[in-house]
Structure 1
Amino acid sequence: MKVIIFGGSGFLGSHVADVLTNAGHNVTIYDLKKSPYLMDTQEMIVGDILDVDRVEEAVKNADIVYNFAGIADIDEASKKPLESIKYNIVGNSIILEACRKENIKRFVFASSLYVYSKAGSFYRSTKQACELLIENYHEVFGLNYTILRYGSLYGPRADERNFIHKILKQALIEGKITREGDGEELRDYIHVMDAARGSVEILADEFANQHVILVGNQQMRIKDLLIMIKEMLDNKIEIEFIPTTDSLHYEITPYSFAPRVGKRLTSRTYLDLGQGILDCIYDIYKQINPKP
Structure 2
Amino acid sequence: MSGDTHDGVDNTRKVVVTGAAGFIGSHLVEALRREGANVTGIDRKSSWATGEIAPSADTGSLHAIRADLVSADLSTCLENAETVFHLAALPGVRPSWTQFPEYLHCNVLATQRLMDACVRAGVPQVVMASSSSVYGGAEGTMHENDLPRPLSPYGVTKLAAERLALAFAARLDTALSVNALRFFTVYGPGQRPDMFIGRVIRAALENKPIEVYGDGTQLRDFVHVSDVVRALMLAAAPRGRGTGVLNIGTGQAVSMNEVLALTGELTGRTPDARYGPARIGDVRATTADIECARRRLGFTARKDLRAGLATQIEWARRSLARAASPRTASPAGMAPTRRS
Unaligned runs of 5+ residues in structure 2 are 1-12, 55-60, 137-148, 327-340
Match of 1:159 among 192, 209, 218: 192
Query: Does 1:42 pair with 2:74?
Result: no
Shift of 1:62: 1.2
Structure 1 vs Structure 2: percent identity of aligned residues? 25
Q: Counterpart in 1 of 2:164?
A: 133
Match of 2:244 among 210, 228, 238: 210
SS at match of 1:248: coil
Query: Residue 14 of structure 1 contacts residue 35 of structure 1 at CA under 8 Å; is this kept in 2?
Result: no
Query: Does 1:183 pair with 2:216?
Result: yes
SS at match of 2:253: strand
Shift of 1:149: 0.6
Q: Which amino acid aligns with 2:275?
A: F
In structure 2, C-alpha distance between the alignment counterparts of 1:151 and 1:178, rounded to whole Å:
22
**Cα-to-partner distance string for 1:250-277 (whole Å, 9 max, x where unaligned):** 112479xxxxx99234745612211221
Give the 3 Å change call, closer, same or farther, for CA 272–48 of structure 1 in structure 2: same
Q: Counterpart in 2 of 1:237?
A: 271
SS at match of 1:241: strand
Q: Counterpart in 2 of 1:258?
A: none
Query: Residue 210 of structure 1 contacts residue 262 of structure 1 at CA under 8 Å; is this kept in 2?
Result: no
SS at match of 2:41: strand
In structure 1, C-alpha distance between the alignment counterparts of 2:204 and 2:268, rounded to whole Å:
12
Query: Residue 48 of structure 2 contacts residue 66 of structure 2 at CA under 8 Å; is this kept in 1?
Result: no
Give the 3 Å change call, closer, same or farther, for CA 269–123 of structure 1 in structure 2: closer
Give the 3 Å change call, closer, same or farther, for CA 236–100 of structure 1 in structure 2: closer
Shift of 1:109: 1.1
Match of 1:286 among 298, 306, 318: 318
Unaligned runs of 5+ residues in structure 1 are 256-260
- Comparing 75-84 with 85-94, greater Cα deviation is found at 75-84
Q: Counterpart in 2 of 1:264?
A: 293
Shift of 1:175: 2.9
In structure 2, C-alpha distance between the alignment counterparts of 1:236 and 1:18, rounded to whole Å:
33
Shift of 1:278: 2.0
Give the 3 Å change call, closer, same or farther, for CA 236–128 of structure 1 in structure 2: closer
In structure 1, C-alpha distance between the alignment counterparts of 2:135 and 2:300, rounded to whole Å:
25
Q: Counterpart in 2 of 1:277?
A: 309
Shift of 1:219: 2.4
SS at match of 1:205: coil
Q: How does 1:64-103 map to 2 (within 5 A)?
A: 64-103=83-122
In structure 1, C-alpha distance between the alignment counterparts of 2:53 and 2:189, rounded to whole Å:
16
Shift of 1:110: 0.5
TM-score, normalised via structure 2 length: 0.77
In structure 1, C-alpha distance between the alignment counterparts of 2:49 and 2:223, rounded to whole Å:
23
Question: RMSD across aligned C-alpha pairs, in angstroms?
Answer: 2.4
In structure 2, C-alpha distance between the alignment counterparts of 1:263 and 1:193, rounded to whole Å:
19
TM-score, normalised via structure 1 length: 0.89
Give the 3 Å change call, closer, same or farther, for CA 268–114 of structure 1 in structure 2: closer
**Cα-to-partner distance string for 1:150-178 (whole Å, 9 max, x where unaligned):** 01111112231332112211222243332
Shift of 1:55: 1.9
In structure 1, C-alpha distance between the alignment counterparts of 2:237 and 2:169, rounded to whole Å:
18
Query: Residue 250 of structure 2 contacts residue 300 of structure 2 at CA under 8 Å; is this kept in 1?
Result: no
- Comparing 60-69 with 133-142, greater Cα deviation is found at 133-142
Shift of 1:106: 0.2
- Comparing 139-148 with 98-107, greater Cα deviation is found at 139-148
| Aligned residue pairs, count | 285
In structure 1, C-alpha distance between the alignment counterparts of 2:251 and 2:152, rounded to whole Å:
27
Shift of 1:20: 1.6
Shift of 1:26: 1.3
The structure richer in helix per residue is 1
